[in-house]
Structures are given as structure tokens and as C-alpha cells.
Amino acid sequence: MHFILGMFIACITLATGILFTEVFPKWVKILMIPIGAISSGYAIAILIRKIAILSKAFTKPELNQTTLIASAVMLVVIIVVKVVLKKKKA
């Protein structure tokens, strides 16, 4: 359930930032991108942890470290997608 709530918050945050780009000032968009990346990273970390617990294939990872890594990866993905979309528009 935590995974679903985390992904819902991440999707709403990122979709709001994408859909209302003309309405919001730039500083609001700059705040929304890390919030979306952190919430989706947290949801992914919870999913990885649940898979580790259920499968017992590897030890249960720490939530803080996994969240930081997943958030950083999501932030990089968001930035790359934003750059690619910007190049396509130009």
C-alpha cells in the first residue's frame, strides 16, 4: 500500500508540473521536480524492500540508502527526459 501511495503522489506531482508549465512560475516547477523524484524514489525503495522480504533471495536493504539511490536515479531520468523533450520542441 505504501508503494501505491508513493507512486500516486509522485505521478500527481510530476503530472501537475508537466501539465501546468505555463501557469506556474519557474521556481514552483523547480520545487516540484525534486519532490516528484524523491517520492517516486521512496516508492521504488519500498518496492525493492518488499521484493527482498518476500523472495528471501537477498538481504533486506536499508530504506534510507535505497531511497537516496532511487531518488537520484529518478532525478537523472527526469532531467534527461526534460532535455530530450526540449530538443524535440526546438
C-alpha 65, offset from chain centre: 15
Please state the pTM of the whole predicted model: 0.76
- Composition of the chain by helix, strand, coil, percent to 5: 85, 0, 15
User: What pLDDT band is residue 1 in, cutting at 50, 70 and 90?
Assistant: confident
Q: CA Rg, the chain, in Å?
A: 15
Confidence tier at 75 by pLDDT (50, 70, 90): confident
C-alpha cell at position 85: 523533450
Tell me the pLDDT band of 77, cut-offs 50, 70 and 90. Answer: confident
Q: Which tens digit of pLDDT belongs to each residue from 18-48?
A: 777 778 788 887 888 888 888 888 888 888 8
Q: Any idea where the domains of the chain sit in the sequence?
A: 2-89
